[in-house]
Amino acid sequence: MDIQDSWLVLLPAIITVCVAVVSRRPIESLLAGTLVGLLMLGPTTALDQFSSTLLEVMMSETIAWVIIVCGLMGSLIMLLLRAGAVDAFSGVLAAKAKSSKSALMYTWLLGIIVFIDDYLNALAVGASMRKVTDQFRVSREKLAYVVDSTAAPICVLVPISTWAVFYAGLFQESGFAEEGQGMGLYISAIPYMIYPIAAVLLVPLVALGIIPALGPMKTAERRAAHEPVSDPIDPADEHRTSMSGREIGLHHFLLPLATLIGFTLWYELDVQIGVIASVALTILLFGAQRLLAWTQMFDAVIDGIKMMLPALTIVVIAFVFKEVNDQLGLPSFVIKNVAPLMTPLFFPVITFLTMALISFATGSSWGVFAIAIPIILPLAASVGVSMPLAIGALLSASAFGSHACFYSDATVLAAQGSGCDVIDHALTQIPYALIAAAISCIGLTLIAAF
């Protein structure tokens, strides 16, 4: 029997998740799953396949964009750290925050404000709020959970975000929306995107203690309450230098962030142009005010890129893993096997569960859906399910994959920005992601019924 027609196509994903839980090391886990997948494709050609797939991934426009945007976001964060702008921002919020609950609520609100892109959200919000939440002995894992829950979920719900632009274009390319009507179709589906709505609304309940710390999060919170928080990704303190004795104000943090958001919006949600402009203008601003020497600023730019290398490595290997799963036919196999179960009542929830499983297994919140949309949406039309409801179920699954997967780009960057281990973040977050997923299943079924 052909491997691509059997449940064996799930084996690489299962091995990856199991190794990640046991070893708590995402790169090795992804490599293990990738190796198993390549051996399944062809034992004698596994090395050649790995080399060619890695080269293909590294040459893709998507990975080039990720490297540029995340690398320069690291540079911007390091510039703000070295100049003391993050301390100034944290100091203002720390003065307003009176407890761990209010510190987490400020984090949630900031995450909602920075809605343009989940990468920008995960890195900027986490880095700017670490010192505030540290002051109240909030665990980095809880901070990462709040940041991650207002990264992809918020970007899905706001129609002026990179997610909305991507999916609106995909609807048009696939022929499900007329030219220029893709965004209208996307907006019509927002009320049915139950998972991101649930994930965002769960955060204040967790922050305020209405929903208690669960499982690994309880352990992390107990540890943070009794042990000083170490900061593995902030090497800025030893390099921070005052050249002129100038007082660092709140505007030194807000102006670069406003520049980043402003240029991104001006250039039609092009985050790459936004971050390039923000880094350039931050260097000019800090240089003109002599907050840092020019050499120190360019050292900060390089160090910021270096800071992002572990996260970028995980993202690259995750893309290789996704390509191997695509070659095995994982998305098509799962969709084909659940298609006979589709009825008008259960179509939305089965779509959500199936695509959430695929997105979680592959770590892909965009690529897999380019394959799924031409299959799922015609199937929805054939069984009499409304297009907005079907799209809402698909986008809910996409948000779940980005939010919950141990090695998705959003999970990795939220952990990086918040200063905690990726697997620790994933394990502490998963109970809350599953609660939101359960709410989604109930909500989608009720909507389909009524």
Asked if 114 and 124 touch (Cβ cutoff 8 Å), the reply is yes
pLDDT tens per residue, range 153-198? 888 888 777 677 778 877 877 777 777 788 788 889 999 999 999 9
pLDDT tens per residue, range 303-314? 988 887 887 887
pLDDT at 54 > cutoff 80: yes
Quick one: pLDDT band at residue 97, thresholds 50, 70, 90? Answer: confident
Please give the pLDDT value at position 284.
93
pLDDT at 367 > cutoff 70: no
pLDDT at 243 > cutoff 70: no
pTM of the prediction?
0.78
Please give the pLDDT value at position 323.
86
pLDDT tens per residue, range 387-402? 899 999 988 988 888 8
Number of other residues whose CB lies within 10 A of the CB of residue 187: 13
Q: Which residues are within 8 A (CB) of 261 and not within 5 positions of it... i.e. 6 or more apart?
A: 114, 116, 274
| Average pLDDT, integer, range 319-332 | 83
**What percentage of the chain exceeds 70 in pLDDT?**
92
In eight-state DSSP terms, residue 228 is P
More confident of the two residues 321 and 204: 204
Please give the pLDDT value at position 238.
43
pLDDT tens per residue, range 134-157? 888 899 999 999 998 888 888 888
| Average pLDDT, integer, range 24-32 | 83
pLDDT tens per residue, range 267-297? 877 778 888 999 999 999 999 888 888 999 9
Quick one: pLDDT band at residue 250, thresholds 50, 70, 90? Answer: confident
How many whole angstroms from its chain centre is CA 366?
11
More confident of the two residues 314 and 211: 211
81: tokens are 């750290």
pLDDT at 234 > cutoff 60: no
d(CA 104, CA 136): 10
354: tokens are 């199936």
**What percentage of the chain exceeds 90 in pLDDT?**
20
Residue 99: exposed, middle, or buried by beta-carbon count in 10 A (0-12, 13-18, 19+)?
A: exposed
Residue 169: exposed, middle, or buried by beta-carbon count in 10 A (0-12, 13-18, 19+)?
A: middle
Quick one: pLDDT band at residue 368, thresholds 50, 70, 90? Answer: low
What DSSP line would sit under 26-71, residue for residue?
HHHHHHHHHHHHHHHH-GGGHHHHHHHHHHHHHTSHHHHHHHHHHH
**Furthest C-alpha separation in the chain:** 73
Please give the pLDDT value at position 231.
55
